[in-house]
């Protein structure tokens, strides 16, 4: 692979920062918002590190002006944020009332962003399902109800914001909703076969049902957008999938080499193959048999071809070691182990604060190529990329703000992306760094920070830019072609 020095990105390349509603907004009872499954989950003792919740978070609901100033100070061209479903429809369902105040809030925010010259990229769903829908009919587990309610919610948003928002993302990281929500129980709604963690759940079947239903809901929302709004509004819509790169634990063992593709298939192709190829990957069908739902013709018709762009969340790489023997029925990964070191004890990358995250910029470039080859060189929007920093939460403030580790991460990852564009023909067109500011990092609470802006949770959620806040503008400036 060539050197990074001569690589560039196209002049219309869009870059900015990403966040999600429950992680930053707080104000969980303001203006008629209804509870989501995360409000409930956070109240269950032992689920969140430090016992935190999104009750206050960064208080962004009340500080949209400050957040826009931050974006401007960073030189951000775009902002990816998510809408809280239960602010817009507090109970969530298609026959439940729409909350005008919730809609108004986002309408003003979108207008303010546009006035500031920042392009909004809107995620419809970033994990915060209205709790009422979970209670009423089991949320994602109920295909008919969930698809109908999500479709209604999507239509309300397209109708209200469609003239202003041109980039829509249906679901953020369905893999996390399925696996963490319905297999390990680490995330809301916390269902799992492990009865020490939850009284309900079946990790052998539910993740696959939930994934199937989310795909159909995505397809249904895309159809609504294309049939009713696209010609009027001229925007585009896709789904965001997470997935990290895989290297063999033993590079001489064919079983480990083969397991690498299988790992990516179980993480990404689970969703992307139905969207781009109209079927589930063979490796999954082989391992899961009839636990993987079969496609009804009318459902796969909705899903197949439903991406205008591929939304890519990407953080790191892993070493993969094939397991021998029959797969455990609880297995969600493809009968393999994910490791941080290879056979020779070599680490995949430097240690961060997140146990699962070790940076590997070359892995990013390799995954961009892998996806492009498998899915026919789709337009790719990187919708999240970023890192935590080991021990950051415990550093003295001055040291914390000088986050050279994060700056280097962005330099390396953006460089790898420019190489993929310039040298490998990858059609990558946007990049949103995770995250604009430190925020509620789900089960890891507030102890893990991903922001380019420090948030002082003890002092009125004061925001202070870290070194990395200013770094991205100059990094992108050095790659993007001038017109």
Task: CB nearer to ligand PNW: give 392 or 441.
Answer: 441
**Measured distance CA(298)–CA(471) in Å, rounded:** 48
Phi, psi at 428, each rounded to 5°: -90, 130
Please answer whether residues 266 and 322 qualify as being in contact, where contact means their C-beta atoms are separated by less than 8 angstroms.
Answer: no
**Shortest distance (Å) from residue 254 CB to ligand PNW:** 27
- The packing angle between helices 64-73 and 100-115, to 10°, is 30
Residue, CB closest to ligand PNW:
356
Catalytic residue (choose from 145, 206, 247, 384): 384
Per DSSP, the chain holds a count of helices (H) and strands (E) of: 18, 13
**Shortest distance (Å) from residue 316 CB to ligand PNW:** 8
Please answer whether residues 349 and 359 qualify as being in contact, where contact means their C-beta atoms are separated by less than 8 angstroms.
Answer: yes
Nearest to 449 by CA among 394, 408, 376, 409: 394
Task: CB nearer to ligand PNW: give 23 or 287.
Answer: 23
Task: CB nearer to ligand PNW: give 23 or 170.
Answer: 23
Task: Based on the residue annotation, tell me whether 173 is a catalytic residue of this protein.
Answer: yes
**Shortest distance (Å) from residue 20 CB to ligand PNW:** 5
Nearest to 207 by CA among 238, 239, 174: 174
**Shortest distance (Å) from residue 447 CB to ligand PNW:** 12
Q: Read off the tokens for 161.
A: 């914001």
Task: Based on the residue annotation, tell me whether 373 is a catalytic residue of this protein.
Answer: no
Task: CB nearer to ligand PNW: give 319 or 421.
Answer: 319
Task: CB nearer to ligand PNW: give 172 or 360.
Answer: 172
**Shortest distance (Å) from residue 18 CB to ligand PNW:** 8
CA–CA distances in Å: residue 345 to residues 246, 251, 340, 349: 16, 13, 9, 12
**Shortest distance (Å) from residue 214 CB to ligand PNW:** 14
Q: How many Cα atoms sit within 13 Å of 151 on the Cβ side?
A: 19
- The packing angle between helices 174-182 and 206-224, to 10°, is 150
**Measured distance CA(435)–CA(422) in Å, rounded:** 26
Q: Which helix (H) or strand (E) holds 339?
A: strand 336-339
Q: Is 87 left (phi over 0), alpha (psi -120 to 50) or beta?
A: alpha
Q: Read off the tokens for 244.
A: 């990290």
Beta bridge partners of 318: 246
**Shortest distance (Å) from residue 160 CB to ligand PNW:** 24
Catalytic residue (choose from 173, 236, 265, 392): 173
Task: CB nearer to ligand PNW: give 39 or 173.
Answer: 173
Please answer whether residues 387 and 405 qualify as being in contact, where contact means their C-beta atoms are separated by less than 8 angstroms.
Answer: yes
Task: CB nearer to ligand PNW: give 6 or 356.
Answer: 356
**Measured distance CA(367)–CA(244) in Å, rounded:** 8
Interaction site with ligand PNW (CB under 6 A): 20, 23, 172-173, 176, 242, 313, 356, 384, 434, 441, 450
**Shortest distance (Å) from residue 3 CB to ligand PNW:** 30
∠ CA 17-53-333 to the nearest 5 degrees? Answer: 70
Phi, psi at 250, each rounded to 5°: -120, 105
Please answer whether residues 257 and 247 qualify as being in contact, where contact means their C-beta atoms are separated by less than 8 angstroms.
Answer: no
Count other C-beta atoms under 10 Å from residue 456's C-beta.
12
Residues with catalytic annotation?
Answer: 173, 384
């Amino acid at each position: 692979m060539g050197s990074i020095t001569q690589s560039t990105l196209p002049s219309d390349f869009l870059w900015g920062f990403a966040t999600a509603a429950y992680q930053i907004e707080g104000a969980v009872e303001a203006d008629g918002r209804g509870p989501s499954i995360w409000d409930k989950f956070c109240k269950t003792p032992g689920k969140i590190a430090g016992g935190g919740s999104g009750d206050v978070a960064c208080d962004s609901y009340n500080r949209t002006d400050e957040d826009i100033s931050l974006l401007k100070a960073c030189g951000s061209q775009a902002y990816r944020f998510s809408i809280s479903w239960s602010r817009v429809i507090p109970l969530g369902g298609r026959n439940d009332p729409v909350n005008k105040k919730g809609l108004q809030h986002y309408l003003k925010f979108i207008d303010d962003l546009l006035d500031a010259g920042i392009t909004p990229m809107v995620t419809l769903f970033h994990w915060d399902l209205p709790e009422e829908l979970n209670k009423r009919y089991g949320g994602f587990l109920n295909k008919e109800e969930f698809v109908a309610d999500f479709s209604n919610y999507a239509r309300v948003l397209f109708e209200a914001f469609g003239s202003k928002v041109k980039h829509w993302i249906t679901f953020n990281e369905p893999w996390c909703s399925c696996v963490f929500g319905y297999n390990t129980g680490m995330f809301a709604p916390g269902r799992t076969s492990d009865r020490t963690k939850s009284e309900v759940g079946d990790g052998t079947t539910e993740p696959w049902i939930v994934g199937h239903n989310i795909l159909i809901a995505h397809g249904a929302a895309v159809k609504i957008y294309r049939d009713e709004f696209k010609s009027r509004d001229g925007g585009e819509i896709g789904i965001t999938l997470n997935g990290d790169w895989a290297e063999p634990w033993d590079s001489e063992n064919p079983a480990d080499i083969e397991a690498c593709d299988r790992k990516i298939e179980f993480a990404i192709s689970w969703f992307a193959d139905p969207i781009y190829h109209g079927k589930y990957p063979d490796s999954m069908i082989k391992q899961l048999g009839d636990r993987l739902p079969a496609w009804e013709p009318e459902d796969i018709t909705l899903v197949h071809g439903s991406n205008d762009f591929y939304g890519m969340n990407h953080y790191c790489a892993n070493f993969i070691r094939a397991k021998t023997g029959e797969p455990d029925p609880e297995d969600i990964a493809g009968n393999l182990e994910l490791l941080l070191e290879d056979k020779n004890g070599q680490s995949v990358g430097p240690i961060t604060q997140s146990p699962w995250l070790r940076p590997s910029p070359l892995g990013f470039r390799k995954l961009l190529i892998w996806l492009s080859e498998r899915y026919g060189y789709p337009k790719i929007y990187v919708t999240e990329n970023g890192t935590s920093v080991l021990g950051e939460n415990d550093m003295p403030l001055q040291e914390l703000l000088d986050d050279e580790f994060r700056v280097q991460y962005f330099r390396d990852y953006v460089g790898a992306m420019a190489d993929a564009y310039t040298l490998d023909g990858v059609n990558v067109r946007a990049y949103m760094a995770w995250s604009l500011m430190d925020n509620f990092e789900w089960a890891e609470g507030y102890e893990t920070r991903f922001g380019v802006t420090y948030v002082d949770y003890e002092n009125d959620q004061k925001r202070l830019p870290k070194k990395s806040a200013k770094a991205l503008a100059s990094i992108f400036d050095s790659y993007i072609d001038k017109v």
